[in-house]
Amino acid sequence: MSQHTIKQYYAIVLGGTGGVGAYLVEKLLASSLCAKVTVISRKELSLSSKLKVEIWNNFSNTLFHKQKDVINIFKNNDVVFCCLGAPESALIGLFYNPWKFSKMFRKVDYEYVVEFAKIANIAGVTHFSVISSPTANPNAKFIYSKIKGEMEEDLKKINFSKLSIFHPWHLMKVAKKNESRWKKNLKNSIAFIAKILPAKQKAILVEDVAEAMKNEYEKSCIEEGDKVKYYHADNMRKLVNINKIK
In a domain, 198, yes or no: no
List pLDDT tens digits, range 114-157: 999 999 999 999 999 999 999 999 999 888 899 999 999 999 99
Domain count along the chain: 1
Instruction: Report yes or no on 191 lying in a domain.
Output: no
In a domain, 13, yes or no: yes
211-239 average pLDDT score = 92
Number of C-beta neighbours around residue 152 at 10 A: 23
- The set of residues, in sequence order, having a beta carbon less than 8 Å from that of 229 and lying 6+ positions away, is 162, 163, 164, 165, 216
Query: Is residue 200 a part of any domain in this protein?
Result: no
| Residue 19 falls inside a structural domain | yes
Cβ(42)–Cβ(57) below 8 Å: yes
CATH of the domain at 219: 3.40.50.720
Q: Is residue 235 situated within a structural domain?
A: yes
pLDDT band per the 50, 70, 90 thresholds, residue 202 = confident
In this structure, is residue 53 part of a structural domain?
Answer: yes
Residue 168 lies in a domain: yes
Q: Which amino acid makes up residue 204? A: I
pLDDT digit string, tens, across residues 152-197? 999 999 999 999 999 998 777 665 555 456 555 555 555 565 556 6
pTM: predicted TM-score of the whole model, two decimal places: 0.86
For residue 162, the enclosing domain spans 3-174+205-244
Mean pLDDT of 56-74: 92
